Amino acid sequence: MISACLPRHPAVAYLLLVRSFSVLATTTIQGFPWPLIPGLIGFFIAFVVQFQLKNHVDRDKILEIENMAELYPNGIPPRKVLTERGQRLYLWFYAGGGLFMGSIILCMIIYSR
């Protein structure tokens, strides 16, 4: 069944399969800024961790706060009300965001010429 789909001559099959995939890969990689790849991974990490932080808030620490306006000024809980695991996730949030910002700056430096 597979042999029915491929041309009978091996040179034509080589041109069809090998050449078309290598050209496709070359045009895809050349147009995409390669320093942005780790930044996109960092953005994904920060995005996921942002929503996980709300599950790691220590309720006893929240009861100790007198001014409730300082709880969620940026949409994420402050570090002082997080549990121990939440504080480790907080570091991952900033590491992912820093990786994203660093890759954007690197792309600006490399591709500005």
Residue 39's CB is within 10 A of a number of other CB atoms, namely 22
Residue 53 and residue 69 share a domain: yes
Residue 105 and residue 54 share a domain: yes
Residue 66 and residue 22 share a domain: no
Give the span between the Cα atoms of 91 and 76, in whole angstroms: 13
Domain range spanning residue 27? 1-31
Q: Total domain count for the chain? A: 2
Residue 37 and residue 1 share a domain: no
Query: Residue 41: its pLDDT value, please?
Result: 93
Question: The whole model's pTM is what?
Answer: 0.63
Q: Cα(first)–Cα(last) distance of the chain, in Å?
A: 52
What string of DSSP letters covers 79-108?
Answer: GGGB-HHHHHHHHHHHHHHHHHHHHHHHHH
- Flag whether pLDDT at 29 surpasses 80: no
pLDDT, tens digit, for every residue of 48-80? Answer: 998 998 888 888 888 887 777 777 666 777 888
If residue 51 lies in a helix (H) or strand (E), which one and from where to where? helix 36-52
